[in-house]
Each structure stands twice: as C-alpha cells, then as structure tokens.
Structure 1
C-alpha cells in the first residue's frame, strides 16, 4: 500500500505504477472509503460541507476502524508519503491494516507540514532513519529563494547548481497582479516558446474564489484545473498550493500571495519548491 495526503499526488503515483498489480495506491481518505466498500460498511460520509471537514479529520478513523475488521483489508507493507500531514489518529487506523509480518516506510518533510502543527508533530513510530539531504528537484537559485522566504535551512547539495533566477513581481492589488499574470503568460508562451502544459499557476486560494481577482489574467488561456496530477497538452495547470503538494512543474507561477499567505512560511516553501526550472512570484504589497 502506498498512501499519502494529497489526492493528486496519489493519482500521479498510481499512474506511474499502473503496471504493478501488487501495489495499491490511494490517498488516505480514498483508502478509508475503499476499505469500507470492501468490507460492506457505510463510511457515514456527510452531505453538509462543515460536517465533511470534521469527517476528513476524525470521522474517517471511526469508519476505518470498522472496516479493518475485514481480513481482506490487510497489507504486507505500507508506505506513507507526506507523513507530517497525517493526524496522530490516522496512524492508529493504518497500523491495523498491517499483516502479521509486515513493514512500514514513512517519508516526511517537517518544512512542508501544511495540515498539522509542525512544531508539535511527532514521528508515529521508532525506526531506522535515513536523512535525505540533497535537493534533486529544484535548481539552486529556486531552492535558495524558497529557503530564504521560509527561513528554512538550505539542503547540503543541489543536483543542478545553475539556472534561471526566480522573478518577484509586486502589485498594489490583485487586479494589478492579473495584468502582470496575463503579460507574463504571453511572454512565456509566445516569446520564449514555453509550452502551456509546462506551466502551473498556484495560489493559496482557489482561482474561482471571489477574492481571487488575479484570475482575470487567465482569461485568454486554456486551463486544466480538474486533474493536476498530469500535464495536458495545450493547457496550463491551475490549482492551489495545497492541492499541488508533492507534484512538480517545469515553470511555476505563485500568485494571490497576500500578507496572510506570506506569513505561512510552510505554504511559501511548498509552493516555491514545486518549480523545477523557473519560478515567478506575484505578490500583493
């Protein structure tokens, strides 16, 4: 079993491992629903949005604890990615999915702890530790800026030491950011030859949020906001920083960054480190 917090990340891993018949890949909440279905149990997923939020935090565990009684819901190995975003209660449910002779693998980056309190988060179990100290995704200029913005320590090494310097663009309003975004996309695609599917636009808030007036800068573009796990030819991926966690893109544009978002260092770090080759940050003063 491979499980993680982000559904889009799970979709990407599932795609990459689609030929492996012995591996189950599901986000944690998808896992709960799948186990309930396998056991013939009602997960009691609520209809009201406010109740759904509570279910995602706590109700899912009550459902999983019933479903694990079915012996078919059992795994020889469990791999957990984004472990720093897992609630303490979730580990109790996952532990019950392990077969008698089994193994755990847990991957986490406390700097990317979005849904839990990173200062209070504790490792779910004692185990041999391997610290991954090298940055294999970002160029050094991108990685250095990400660490500078978030006040996190630099990795020991970067796989790529040279690269395009990140660009920061400030604006008085989100409406001004929309103009900057429109001009930037036009420059990247028409002047520099970047393919739309190589570009991802990320924000702390949905682009459909009434406050996200910066999204007017996307009106001339064909966007993909349904399946962030895969690039789609001719489409710019548009989503939230949270929803793109664990994924990557050649070019990342962070937009809709207001003072509230700027103070969430872990969010800035996650957003900036999605970029492999080029990073643009559109801040609101």
Structure 2
C-alpha cells in the first residue's frame, strides 16, 4: 500500500470522484509510492508577484518521478468546436468546468516553479526529472473520446482503469519519461523532500522544553482545527487568527514562520513580550531567512541603523513631532516608520503574535516593511482576552478572524477556572482531566511565602519535578521586590535557583509577573499576589495567569481572595 498524506480515512474530499481515485491509488500502488491529496501552494513573490498553484493529487516515486493528477467527476464532455468543457452530475444537471488538461498542465509548471525556489529541494541538486500530468474521470467509461491535440489518450484515465490503476499510473509515467530520456531519478530524498514541503507533520513540544510525561502525550499532535488553519494559510496572504489561551496560536504562528522561511521567503516573526520573543528566537535558531524579535526590538534596530548610516536621530525628530507622546507607543513607532521609509522594505512575509497588545501606531511601519504590501504574506494572531496592556489596535486585515476553538494546553480542571474569566467565542475544554486546582491559604505575605517554599520543596524532592518546570507568577507587582526577597530567604533545595524569565535554564525556577509571562507556559504554575485583585477589573490578568499552567495550578492567597477568583463570573 502506498504512503498517503493524509491517510484516506482522514482526508476531506470535495467530490466522490476524488475519494474513489485516492482510495484506489492508496490500495493498488506499492509502498515505494507517495500520494498527497489536495496540495496547494503560493510561490515566492517575484517580478510578476506571487503565483498560486494546486493539484487534486500528487504522486511521487523515487525512480519514476512525479505526476500531477487532476480528477473530474460526473460525465465529462468536450466540444472542440467551442473548446468548452462540461460535467453532468447524478441529477443530470450540466455544469461548466475548466479544461482539466490545462489545469493539470498549469499545476505541473507551477509545481516545478515552487520546487526550484525551495531551499530544501535546491540543496538536493536534483536536475531534470520526470514530471508529468494526467486527468482521471472515474465516472466516465469511454475516456478516450476526451483525447485531442493537447490531451493524448495515454494521460487519460477512466472507470475502466480503477481496478488496475497501478498499471495505468506506470503507463502515464512511461509516456512522460520517453519524451526526455535525460531525466534522472529523484530518489527517496526527493520523495521525502516533497513530503516535507507539502505534507509536513507537526508536533508540539513544550514551549520551554518542560514535560510532564503522561499528560504531554496528549498534547503532541495538532488538533484537526489547527491543521486546517495551517492548510488555509497556504492559500491566503492576509489572515487574522483568534483564539483563547492554550488553543495553539503561538504554535501555529511559529510553524508558519518556519515554513515560509524554509520556502525561501524573507520572514519576520514579531510579538510584544520580550520573554516570548527570546524563547521563540531560541526555538527558531538556525532557520535561514527568519528574524524573530519584539516590535520594539525591531524599532530599535532600524532606528539605530539609520543613525549609523545617515547620522539622523529619528527618535529626537519623533519627540519634536509628538511632544506629548509616549516613548514606546508613539515615538518609537513613528521613528521606525521613518526609518523604513529611508531604508526601504525588507520582508516578503510577516507573522505577528500577541497582536492584541499592538497599538494603533504599530501597524503602519509593519506594513511598510513588506516588499509588496498587497501581495506579500501577513498573518496576525491574537487573543482579545489577553489585552492586559489595555490597547485597542486597528489591525490591517479585513473580515472576521479564523477561530481556534480547542484548548490544547491546560487540563480540563485548569481550563474550568481560567476560562471562568474569559469573554469571547466558546472554546472547547481539553481532553485531559488533570488534577484539581489547589489553594494555599494564608492571611499574610510571610505565611504565604512559607507555604510556597513547602510546596516547592515537595515538588522538587518528593515528586521529582524539575525546577525549570515551575513558575511563580505575580498578579500585582506593587510589592514585587519584597516578595522576591522573601522567596530568596527560603530554605529551598540546593538544586533550585530563583530567577526571572530571561534567566531560564536548568535548575532555574521562574519568579516573574503575569504580564511578562504572557505567551509562555510551564507544567506547574503558582499564582500569587492577587489578594487585592478585583475579579472584574483584573479579569484579564487572572485569565492569563491561570492559563499559563499546563498540568498543575496552585493559588496562594487568603481564603477570601482564593474563593473570590474561583467563583463563577457572570
């Protein structure tokens, strides 16, 4: 049986015709064949702008080559006098259709263009190889009548070929190979390269390399919805994706950024929080053509570059232009826009994570960075419930966002308490039940610190949880220095080092604010410093803080405060 991407039982077919052909190919072709269904791509923007390509089915073989296959259902008819094609469905309704041979031929050349620009394919140094196209009409019993000057009978399949479709495929490959005997085999490296480009499987790993083994087994694969959105992003240039905490926004954003860069597009992946940017940069290290930074880090680089090259102090100019403006919200975005205007655009694709935190002034310079704003790629990910910086951004994408609606990070128990503070479209809970959320009750900060110390010691010594799998997050940072000092005085195990996000590493237990921890996660979260929080005014902070926990969530505060933030919010 051939290797299929996806397997027939998981594939979504636009017609029964595609299903019949795909299943027949899967059953009849040998294991050295690879079959990909519903393949689509956008070639890199060039002189004539981006080019879109697609094919119903792609067949690859290490020695025979690659075949682009167009499938047409119904009773297909052709009038050569008018060059019009029609299909008659089961209800005898006539539908005008495109010339399937033109579609297959265009798919062939668009595929070749995509392969030539792809860095993975180029590194394999595959020269001329057997690349053909064909049309299959499984509801037609006399496909020969569709033949013509541009449609030789050798590349037409019909119902008679279904039971021996392996023989038919070999015949089509032979037809194309005899036209150019200088072709070389693509080998298994070539076949695997096609899979990597068009059917790459995606697995998550914990964002900061921390796993609690049993539960993380359920988090490894993309959900169907996440995979579907990645598929849609192959076909569209400007998309907004929204979802609650833990629905996989950052995972998809990172995966899309890596794919675009791997396909040869100069790509920028930006977010708001430095902690998230630092970690994403580490995850994406070694990816050629991919820059990862916060918005303000990008601002700083461009402003500095203009100053070094041209001697202009764009920040001083911005302060003069907006005398009452804020350094980060007004002066830096304006100076950044002026820098891009001077230096010119740079990127063919931009991925924005945490877009809910981007101010209105951020978007102009972002769009200016695109080499072809109307045709380049701009993908924006956001969670309106995480707007804890109180921004209201005019995001430059028309229409409603695509929505991620399954929580894939937390357990069901954590989801229940975190999403109690969520406002928005329904998000389905995860499939992991998990342990109950626990409260550490104490009336004052000194007693609370001791309870946290006892808990950390138990987790590290008795439960063998790694220190870097734990984070203590502060909702209110008004007395942050005192809390950090009290924690430093605790008699913790010698293997534990306390530090902030940027100190993360083996043995480092993170102590930081909820706001700085946005976009990140840990298997174990201790939420602290919420005694003075209001359920209504601080709803987003509570939502973000609780939802950072993957497997275990502890709330440390007074009994009244814990009861208050765990109560049902209406």
Normalised by the length of structure 2, the TM-score is 0.45
1:32 equivalent among 281, 299, 313? 299
Deviation per CA, 1:10-45, whole angstroms, max 9, x where unpaired? 111111111111111110000100111233353538
- Who is 1:115 aligned against? 389
The yes-or-no answer on 1:145 pairing with 2:412 is no
Q: Which has the larger radius of gyration?
A: 2
1:227 aligns with 2:478: no
Q: Which residue of 1 aligns with 2:453?
A: 182
2:348 is paired with a residue whose SS is: strand
**Residue 261 of structure 1, CA deviation:** 5.8
Judging changes above 3 Å, is the alpha-carbon distance between structure 1 residues 73 and 42 closer, same or farther for their aligned structure 2 residues?
Answer: farther
1:51-106: CA deviation from partner (whole Å, max 9, x where unpaired): 9x921121111211221123455211111110011101111221111112312100
1: distance between equivalents of 2:387 and 2:395? Answer: 13
Choose the corresponding residue for 1:236, options 509, 516, 522: 509
For 1:209, which of 480, 496, 505 is the aligned residue? 480
Deviation at 1:155, TM superposition (A): 5.0
Q: Is residue 2:360 matched to residue 1:93?
A: no
SS in 1 for 2:457: helix
Which stretch of structure 1 is more off in the superposition, 268-277 or 91-100? 91-100
User: Where does the alignment leave 5 or more consecutive residues of structure 1 unmatched?
Assistant: 46-50
Contact preservation (8 Å) 1:75, 1:99: yes
Q: In structure 2, what is the Cα distance between the partners aligned to 1:261 and 1:190?
A: 35
Alignment-derived partner of residue 287 in structure 2: 20
**TM-score, length of structure 1 as denominator length:** 0.86
Hey, what does 1:62 align to over in structure 2?
A: 334
Sort the Cα spacing of 1:197 and 1:276 in 2 relative to 1 into closer, same or farther, 3 A: same
Per-residue deviation, residues 208-245 of structure 1 (Å, max 9, x unmatched) = 734x44751343342121516xx411121111111110
Alpha-carbon distance, 1:254 to partner? 0.7
RMSD after superposition: 2.5
The answer on 1:196 being equivalent to 2:463 is no
Contact 1:147–1:153 (8 Å) recurs in 2: no
- Give the count of matched residue pairs: 273
Summarize the Cα distance change of 1:135–1:226 in structure 2 as closer, same or farther, 3 Å threshold.
closer
Give ranges in structure 2 of 5+ residues lacking alignment: 1-267, 317-322, 562-570
Answer yes or no: is the 8 Å Cα contact 1:174–1:214 preserved in 2: no
CA distance, structure 1, for counterparts of residue 424 and residue 414 of structure 2: 14
CA contact (8 A) 2:340 2:368 kept: yes
Q: Work out the CA distance in 1 between the residues paired with 2:499 and 2:287.
A: 28
Name the CA distance, whole Å, in 2 between partners of 1:194 and 1:136: 21
Structure-2 change in CA distance of 1:268 and 1:12 (3 Å) = same
How far 1:270 sits from its partner (Å)? 0.7
Secondary structure of the residue that 2:371 maps to in structure 1? strand
**Do the aligned residues in 1 keep the contact of 2:453 with 2:487 (CA within 8 Å)?**
yes
